[in-house]
Amino acid sequence: MENSVFEQMAKKYDTEERIELANVIVKEVRAELRNSKSKSLIDYGGGTGLIGLELSDLVDSVLLVDSSKQMVEVAKEKISRKGITNAKVICSDFTKETPKLKSDIVLMSLVLLHIP
């Protein structure tokens, strides 16, 4: 999908079906993140934070990275609304630029199908 599609659908992205799928993924990933409280996590292609924000209690910090400005804005609103203090969001497209980021864990869920 083109980035412009995500810009248009950002505020309506979190449908019941996507939330259900995210919950399945979160359940599986949570099991892998035991003993990760001191680790940092990057959720690349994190969108609205459906997965990454649900893991914030298991790690020291979460960085959501997405190429859609509108998706990033929705994620920021969620972080504020939920009072999540260890999560940040940046808008970046790794196919065009590669910011120097370091993390112990990198999560990519349902992302690669959108990368040319």
When pLDDT is cut at 50, 70 and 90, the band that residue 15 belongs to is: confident
How many Cβ atoms are within 10 Å of 15's Cβ, its own excluded?
Answer: 10
Which amino acid is located at 24 in the chain?
V
- Tokens for 34? 């035991």
pTM: 0.84
> pLDDT digit string (tens) for 93-110?
877 777 788 999 999 886
User: 3-114, superfamily in CATH?
Assistant: Vaccinia Virus protein VP39 (3.40.50.150)
Domain extents for the chain? 3-114
Measured CA to CA, the distance from residue 42 to residue 81 in angstroms comes to 21
Where residue 101 falls (left for φ over 0; alpha for ψ -120 to 50; beta otherwise) is beta
CA distance 80 to 98: 27
Confirm if 64 and 87 have CB atoms less than 8 A apart. Answer: yes
Phi, psi at residue 32, to the nearest 5°?
-80, -15
Q: What is the pLDDT of residues 30-67, one digit of tens each?
A: 999 999 999 999 999 899 999 999 999 999 999 999 98
CA distances (Å), origin 107, targets 5, 8, 16, 52, 83: 22, 24, 22, 8, 22
